[in-house]
Structure 1
């Protein structure tokens, strides 16, 4: 009986320890850009709804459907406004490995006054919750 109790306690400790060790890994984020050889089709015409206070219209765009191995249209939708930032919709760019979808992002608006920004409005690599251009991509003109 005592031995069973020790085995259960040990098994519980091992289970708890492995759960604690795996928790940070489950929260990690990975960003992978996969190039495809097929350019996106022409955009689909969508009627832009009337303005909505506190929101910005995110136009529809062609996404890549890995399961169907083809482009799939994602309809436009409203996103919450971020004061001081300008929304930039997802866009396809030609890269060395084919066509790559750049995700939507929020660029710092004009007149924000950062000397290192050089008037471009991009929030590259500043760690303030804005867009981050992956290492090496800016030099290739992919961001």
Structure 2
């Protein structure tokens, strides 16, 4: 009984006083905010295509005082991934560099249609149990 009364009193006390604590979290992933806008991108002629390589375009880099141009370069390709180049993104207080990254590439539509056509010819519309969830029908 005493325990229940104590818990009830604690709950009532907590409910009568408004919470004044506030938590603020600021996560800075892309580096420092630069107050000055970057110059327009330079035109770079991409060298010839290289097998197994992806062209990463050049961009402006902030060195703490000024922008310096970083030339484009080739990078080893990753199977089933596409490269998304980095970019300067405008934020409330200025500009922040968002690094380029690799994103899962979409499957080609032709391959899906070929797979469906192949199954339709053999199965005549029947889908074996469990195959629809796997995308085979």
> For this structure pair, what is the TM-score category when the shorter chain's length is used for normalisation?
0.5 to 0.7
Are 1:34 and 1:97, in contact at CA under 8 Å, matched by a contact in 2? no
Considering Cα pairs closer than 8 Å and 6+ residues apart, tell me whether 1 or 2 has the greater RCO: 2
Quickly say closer, same or farther: Cα 1:31–1:111, change in 2 above 3 A. same
Q: CA deviation at 1:39?
A: 1.0
Q: In the comparison of the two structures, how many residue pairs are matched?
A: 81
SS, match of residue 52 in structure 1: coil
Number of the residue aligned with 1:109: 105
Q: CA deviation at 1:32?
A: 5.5
Quickly say closer, same or farther: Cα 1:33–1:71, change in 2 above 3 A. same
Number of the residue aligned with 2:93: 97
Number of the residue aligned with 2:48: 50
Deviations 1:53-103 (A, max 9, x none): 00001010011112xx01110000000001111111110001123100001
**CA root-mean-square deviation:** 1.9
The 5 A counterparts of 1:79-98 are 79-98=75-94
Number of the residue aligned with 2:4: none
Bigger Rg, structure 1 or 2: 2
Are 1:60 and 1:77, in contact at CA under 8 Å, matched by a contact in 2? yes
Q: TM-score, normalised by structure 2?
A: 0.55
Number of the residue aligned with 1:36: 34
Moved over 4 A (4+): none
Q: Give ranges in structure 1 of 5+ residues lacking alignment.
A: 1-29, 113-143
